[in-house]
Amino acid sequence: MYNKKNKNLTPYAFIAPHLILFIIFFAIPAVFGIFISFTNWNIMSSPKWVGFQNYYEILLNKDSTFYMQFHNGLKNTVMFVIFTVPVSIITALSVALALNAKPKGNKFFQSLFYLPSLLSISSVILTWHFLFNRNLGPINNIFNLKINWYGQQPFTWIAIVIITVWWGIGGNMVIYQAALASIPKELYEAADLDGAGAIIKFFKITLPSMKNQLTYTVIMTTIAQFNIYGQPLMFSKGGPKGSTYVLLMYIRQLAFGSGESIAGLASAMAVMLGLCIISVSSLQFFLLRNND
């Protein structure tokens, strides 16, 4: 009897640390957030139940500022995801491939590429803000340009994408390096014997062998980029003309701006963003898994 009980508890004991953190920092806030999205709440008094009113306001009421903000914010967020995810994946993969060829100093370059991932968003933006400075920045000076990167499209998007890719390249790169290292050499040798070129080897051996890692990174990168906030907030302040005002900026301002909190509407927007992330990631997972 004692033994049996013991056996049943062991797995739970092992997952307990993660489970507890997950419940406290994710599950409870998520459920609470969904509940709040059906209420009017200013954080200070008690929430009032209003059903789907907040969702009506942001999804259907075209006269409302919040409708405009939600749609503009979501549009900009999706645009950012579309711009950034492919570039992030391709650059990280290219760097991993290059490093995998073991050029001289590859360990040094590996650390160099990984380094930005360790920095906080504030220091990243501070650095790039200077690099993209209109008059004094090296980028404009080296290329002899007069571009206002902080507030002129499409340059603002280009700058934000460059910053994001540079910042996040390390995480995916390490995963790809591990994946590349585990591909059996025999496969390439066999392909050599059959006279396959580098491109064919890449598409027929390398990519298929890394499928799991690619699926994982594509989904994780997409989720991460949907949560974009710091880059446009600090780099372009949402401009020019609100074209880089992403959804999280509106959400945060509504909930924790300098006026009274409108947490219900902010939560409704956040739930919609969550639904978008879930559906896009599921679609990606479904498509990539069924590729076989």
Partner 1 sequence: MNRKLKVIVSCALAIMMIASLVGCGSTTTSSKKDSKEIIFWSVFTGPDGENMNRMIEEYNNTNPEYKVKHRPIQADEMYQRIPTMVSSGKDIPDLTIVHAERVALFAENEMIMPLDSYIDKNGTIKQENYVTSGWNIGGLNGSRYSIPLDVHSFVTYYNKDLLAKYGPNVLDDNVITLDEIREVGELSKKDEITSMGITWMRVKFLSWYEQLGGKLSEDGTNPSFNNPQAEKVLDDIKGLVTNGYANQDGEDTGQLFRSGQLVFWPEGIWMQNSLKEIKDLNWGMAHLVTFDPAKKVNWTSSHQFTMLKNPSMTDEKAEGIMNFINWIGENSLEWAKAGQVPASLKILENEEFNKMPHAFLLKEQESLSISGYKYFGFAAEALDKIVWETVFDKMDIKEGLEQAEKETLDRIAASKKQ
Q: Looking at 57-65, 90-98, 176-184, 282-290, which segment touches partner 1 (CB under 8 A)?
A: 57-65
Does 152 bind partner 1 (CB under 8 A)? Our answer is yes
Here the tokens at position 87 are 């570039």
Residue 42 engages partner 1 in binding (rule: CB under 8 A):
yes
How far is it, in rounded angstroms, from Cα 275 to Cα 53?
18
Share in percent of the chain as helix, strand, coil (round to 5): 75, 0, 25
d(CA 154, CA 160): 10
Q: Which of 16, 30, 60, 207 binds partner 1 (CB under 8 A)?
A: 16
Ordered alpha helix ranges (H), 115-261: 121-131, 138-142, 155-181, 185-193, 198-201, 207-209, 211-226, 230-235, 247-256
Whole-angstrom distance, CA of residue 210 vs CA of residue 109: 22
| Stretch 250-289: interaction string toward partner 1, x if CB under 8 A | ---xx-xxxxxxx-xx------------------------
| 40 sits near partner 1 (criterion: CB under 8 A) | yes
Using rule CB under 8 A, residue 136 touches partner 1:
yes
In the list 134, 215, 216, 285, the residue contacting partner 1 (rule: CB under 8 A) is 134
Pick one of 64, 91, 209, 215: the residue that binds partner 1 (CB under 8 A). Answer: 64
- Asked if 113 is part of the footprint of partner 1 (rule: CB under 8 A), the reply reads no
How distant, in Å, are the alpha carbons of 69, 200, 212, 215, 285 from that of 290? 37, 22, 12, 11, 8
Span of 19-27, 113-121, 184-192, 224-232 interacting with partner 1 by CB under 8 A: 19-27
Cα separation, 160 vs 82, in Å, equals 13
* Residue 292, number of CB atoms within 10 A of its CB: 6
* CA atoms within 13 Å, Cβ hemisphere of 279: 6
Number of residues that bind partner 1 (CB under 8 A): 50
Least Cβ distance, residue 133 to partner 1 (angstroms): 6
Q: Does 75 bind partner 1 (CB under 8 A)?
A: no
Q: Is 148 in the site for partner 1 (CB under 8 A)?
A: yes
- Interface with partner 1 by CB under 8 A: which residues? 6, 9-10, 13-14, 16-17, 20-21, 24, 40-45, 48, 50, 57, 64-66, 133-136, 147-152, 237-242, 245, 253-254, 256-262, 264-265
